[in-house]
Each structure stands twice: as C-alpha cells, then as structure tokens.
C-alpha cells in the first residue's frame, strides 16, 4: 500500500474537479470509487469538498468559478513557492491562467497552461499538504498528458520541475515516462503526442 505520508516537491500531489454540478459529481464519484465527500463549512471555500477514501484525502471537487470554465479535472504539482513556480513557468513559455493566490489557510496556488495548452495547478501547501493516499485501489495512481505538441510540453516540465523524460522501451509505443532520475523503474507521470484523430478542442 502506498500512502503519501511525506510531501515530495515538484511532482503531482493533488487533483480536483471543477464541476457544473458539484453535487452530482460528489454523488457519482462516491458511488464509483467508494469515496466520501466532505463539503467545507467555511463559505470562503465556495462549496469545495474533499473526497476521502477510508478517511484519507484523495481529491477534491467544487463548483466552476464561471460559466466559461470547463468541467475538468486539474492535477496540481507540489511546490515550495507558488509565486516562484509561476514565474519559472512563464519564463519557460507557459501561460499564467490564474496568478498565485491564497486559498484561505490551506495553501497557495496558481493555474498555468504549458506551451501545448494543457492546464495544471501548482500547490504550495500549508494546512493542506496534498493527498494522503496514492497508488492504492480507489485512489490516484498516475498522471498523464496527451498533447498536440508533446515535445514542447515535455521540455517545459523538464525546465520548470526538473523532470527526467524516458522513452518507452516497448516497440511501437510512442510513450514517455517522467521521473527524477533515469534509475527510477516506473516514474510518477507520463505522456504522449495526441493521435491524429483527437480533435484539437479536447483538453490535454
């Protein structure tokens, strides 16, 4: 059983869903994965809920902040400074979608698009460090990017977070895994170029 007892910076450590119907999403994922959902009482969190598996935080869900915001999951990369990460991402060709801001007393975050347009968050934890369980049945086990410009996206994550890309050794599989060194047998994330039939408007 893998549990996220310590924070590992510069790798995925949280995800949440921005939903057009947060109540329906809470119900769906609770039934699908056996999660429970705890909605924050404090109004400053806007109805945000933590998904829990056996009492451990595994994700979150909240209402969209505007009608223009897509209903989509966002993966967050843990950092020691959201401000520094956002600036580094900008210098590497990323676009700041939401500048760094405090999330109550829980932490500080920013939302960024990589050069291929894929959106992700950076999270500087305070009271909330990230997920408590990872890689077990019913919890997150992998983060993956399918991009229309994967080469540019790959270099971006190398430059900003120090990830080490490694091509798949399986013949005919154009896949890349990411780790912190070449000796890591599995890594913690992966990605590939979007297939030709994937519409441009599909989120990466």
What's the pLDDT score for residue 92? Answer: 98
How would you write the pLDDT of the chain (204 residues) with one tens digit per residue?
455 556 799 999 999 999 999 999 999 999 999 999 999 999 999 999 999 999 999 999 999 988 888 899 999 999 999 999 999 999 999 999 999 999 999 999 999 999 999 999 999 999 999 999 999 999 999 999 999 999 999 999 999 999 999 998 778 878 999 999 888 878 999 999 998 888 877 766
**Which of these, 52, 24, 59, lies nearest to 37 by C-alpha position?**
52
SS3 199: coil
| Per-residue model confidence as pLDDT tens digits over 159-181 | 999 999 999 877 887 899 999 98
* pLDDT more than 70, % of the chain: 96
| Per-residue model confidence as pLDDT tens digits over 59-73 | 999 999 888 888 999
What's the pLDDT score for residue 27? Answer: 98
Whole-number Å distance between alpha carbons of 53 and 36:
7
**Which of these, 122, 129, 118, lies nearest to 82 by C-alpha position?**
122
Q: Are strands 36-39 and 56-63 parallel, antiparallel or unpaired?
A: unpaired
Residues 123/131, Cβ–Cβ less than 8 Å:
no
From residue 194, give the alpha-carbon distance in Å to each of 83, 92, 170: 30, 22, 18
Residues 203/193, Cβ–Cβ less than 8 Å:
no
Domain 143-193 has CATH 3.10.180.10: yes
Q: In the chain, where does the domain assigned CATH 3.10.180.10 lie?
A: 12-125, 143-193
Whole-number Å distance between alpha carbons of 151 and 126:
34
Q: What is the DSSP string of 50-74?
A: EEEETTEEEEEEEE-SSTTS--EEE
Neighbouring C-beta atoms of residue 150, cutoff 10 Å: 20
| Per-residue model confidence as pLDDT tens digits over 49-59 | 999 999 999 99
Domain 12-125 has CATH 3.10.180.10: yes
What's the pLDDT score for residue 1? Answer: 42
The phi, psi pair for 103, rounded to 5°, reads -110, 80
């Amino acid at each position: 059983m893998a549990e996220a007892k310590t924070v590992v910076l510069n790798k995925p450590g949280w995800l949440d869903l921005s939903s057009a119907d947060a109540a329906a999403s809470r119900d769906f994922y609770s039934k699908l994965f056996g999660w429970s959902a705890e909605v924050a009482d404090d109004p400053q969190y806007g109805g945000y809920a933590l998904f829990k598996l056996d009492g451990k935080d595994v994700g979150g869900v909240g209402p969209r902040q505007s009608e223009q915001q897509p209903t989509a999951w966002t993966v967050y990369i843990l950092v020691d400074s959201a401000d520094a990460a956002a600036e580094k991402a900008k210098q590497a060709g990323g676009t700041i979608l939401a500048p760094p801001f405090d999330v109550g007393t829980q932490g500080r975050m920013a939302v960024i698009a990589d050069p291929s347009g894929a959106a992700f968050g950076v999270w500087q934890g305070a009271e909330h460090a990230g997920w408590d369980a990872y890689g077990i049945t019913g919890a997150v086990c992998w983060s993956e990017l399918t991009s229309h410009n994967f080469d540019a996206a790959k270099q971006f994550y190398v430059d900003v977070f120090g990830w080490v890309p490694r091509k798949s050794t399986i013949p005919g599989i154009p896949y890349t895994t990411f780790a912190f060194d070449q000796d890591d047998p599995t890594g913690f994330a992966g990605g590939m170029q979007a297939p030709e039939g994937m519409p441009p408007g599909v989120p990466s």
